[in-house]
Each structure stands twice: as C-alpha cells, then as structure tokens.
Amino acid sequence: MLLLAFYWTIYFALHSLLATTWVKSAAAWQFPRAVRFYRLAYNQVSVWGFLLILRYQTQLPSTLFFAPGPLVMAMGYVLLVLGVLVCIAALRGYDLAEFAGWAYVRRGTAAADGTLRIAGLNRLVRHPLYLGLLLGLAGFWLLAPSDVRSIFVGCNVAYVLVGTRLEERKLLARFGAAYARYQARVPQLLPLKWRTTPPGNAPS
C-alpha cells in the first residue's frame, strides 16, 4: 500500500511540475523548435503513466472496509454517472484541440491566445471538470470502499485540490483582471450559491 501511495504521489507531483509555466518556459528556451509538441507530449506521458500505475494497482490484493449495501451501491452509481456527465458537459466548453495539444502543434504558442470563456457549467463553478472528477471519485469509492481504492481516491482528491490552486494562479497570470472579476462572481468548485456571469466560453 505504501508503494502504491508513493507511485501516485510521484505521478501527480510530476504531473503538476510539468504543467507549471516555468518548466514550459525552460523547455521553450532549450528546445524552441520542439515546444509546439510540449502539450501533446505532456498529455501522452500523463495518460500512459496513469494507466501504468492503474494496472499495477489492479494487481494488488485489497480489503473492504465494509460491504456496501444496496443504498450505498445506488449512491455510488449515481455519483459516478453524475461525475462522468459533469466532466463531459465541462469538456464541451473547452477548446479540445488546445486541451489535447494538437492546436499547439498546428499554431504554436498562438493557440493559447484565446479569450476567457465562461459559458456552460463555468457559469456555476470555475472548475467544473474538477468537480466532475470529485463526484466520480466519490462514487467509485462507495462501490468498493477498500484500502487500495482509498489510496487511489485520496491521492486523486489531493491532486485536484492542489491542482485547482495552481490552475487559478496560471489563469490569473493569463487573463488578469478579467479572471479576478470572474473569481469574485463564481465559486471555485461547489455551486453553493446561484450566481450568473455574462455569456462567453469556459476558461482553458
């Protein structure tokens, strides 16, 4: 279990480090011709690294903390499905070509020169994709509340909370006063208050 926690911690720490502006800037300075492939390579490393550790995780023996009854199972499925639906709805507000990295391959750094987008679920929370992940993780854990899943879910939740703060800093640096006004109107992760924002698109 400790080794699994170590793997996930290293994975998410590396994932966050490679997403920082200063690492990207260092890569651009060192390899100016290859920087357009950075986001694409970053996503590939992230996906395959995640799958590799997940494969290791599935081979570990696990112990349930309790046997989930019908009500808990139902709650788990509801949260899991809701999380997936929220993630899908959130992704519809993003420039998926930029999100995946293909836009940078075609247009270079100009792909990141878009405006602040605040449509769809981004009218309710600033990070709907992270909200969907948290809902899905909660449902995933309830379906089989074991020691192995607890480590997986715990590391993912910690990453989402830390990653949200790092993302906020990048968005403030990128969009300045426009994002600061958006922060003042819309909650970060939980739509605890009904707030509205002017029509637009979702921040990338």
- The domain segmentation of the chain, as residue ranges, is 2-185
Q: Is the pTM value of this prediction over 0.85?
A: no
Q: Tens of pLDDT along 81-111?
A: 999 999 999 888 776 666 666 566 676 655 5
Contact 114, 95 (CB under 8 A): yes
DSSP 19: T
Instruction: Give dist(CA 141, CA 150) in Å, integer.
Output: 7
Contact 120, 88 (CB under 8 A): no
- Scan for tokens 């300075």, then name that residue: 29
Q: Name the residue with higher pLDDT: 203 or 56.
A: 56
Confidence of residue 18 (pLDDT cuts 50, 70, 90): confident
Q: State whether residue 115 is helix, strand or coil.
A: coil
